[in-house]
Amino acid sequence: MSETGKGGFMHHNKFVLALVGALVVTITTAGAVVRTAPAEAASTRISSACSAVPTTTTEFDGIPGTIFYKRLQCLGTMAPGQWAYSGPIDGVMGPNSWKAASAQLARGGYYDAPALYGWESADVVKALQRWAAAHGRYSGPIDGVWGPNSYRGAAWALNREF
């Protein structure tokens, strides 16, 4: 091979190395962007009105009241995107409150129904039971039926979520 041929060959090698280096930088940078975006998207936002909601005594007595449902609405304010609850934190669970709470529970992998229902469905109760069980605060059946222990477990988790 002549000197001219070697020079062309070496020039080609340098070009390939430069392309590979640029590709590595691009892939590494793209990976950093991909890793950062989900963290930002998953950042939890909660309604400022929730800071005034006290802890619920349902954790101790198993009897839900307005504060229990206010905390459940606050859980719904943490739901992703269009499902986030933006109504009043008044303890009156309407369709948007239930859908938002269900969406947030789905985000955590606890709600596995085919749809988000706008009422207190057995599916959302099961999700709350799973959530309480995952926190070690409920050991009863995941049956979608409220009982004092289901309320206690869900309340314990709600009191510590925010």
pLDDT at 158 over 80: yes
15 and 83 in one domain?
no
Cα angle 86, 118, 52 (rounded to 5 degrees) comes to 35
pLDDT digits (tens, 9 = 90+) for 97-153: 999 999 999 999 999 998 999 999 999 999 999 999 999 999 999 999 999 999 999
**pTM summary value:** 0.72
**Least confident interval from 20-29, 34-43, 141-150:** 34-43
63 and 133 in one domain?
yes
What is the pLDDT confidence band of residue 44, given thresholds at 50, 70 and 90?
A: low
62 and 31 in one domain?
no
Burial 102-131 (b: 16+ CB within 10 A, else e): bbbbbeeebbebeebbeebbebbbbbbbbb
55 and 101 in one domain?
yes
**Least confident interval from 34-38, 90-94, 151-155:** 34-38
25 and 101 in one domain?
no
Q: What's the mean pLDDT in 69-81? A: 97
What is the pLDDT confidence band of residue 10, given thresholds at 50, 70 and 90?
A: very low
Cβ–Cβ < 8 Å for 93, 72:
yes
38 and 96 in one domain?
no
**What percent of the chain is predicted at pLDDT more than 70?**
73
62 and 39 in one domain?
no
54 and 37 in one domain?
no
85 and 16 in one domain?
no
What is the pLDDT confidence band of residue 8, given thresholds at 50, 70 and 90?
A: low
What is the pLDDT confidence band of residue 18, given thresholds at 50, 70 and 90?
A: very low
143 and 123 in one domain?
yes
The number of distinct structural domains making up the chain is 2
Write out the residue range of the structural domain in which residue 148 sits: 48-161
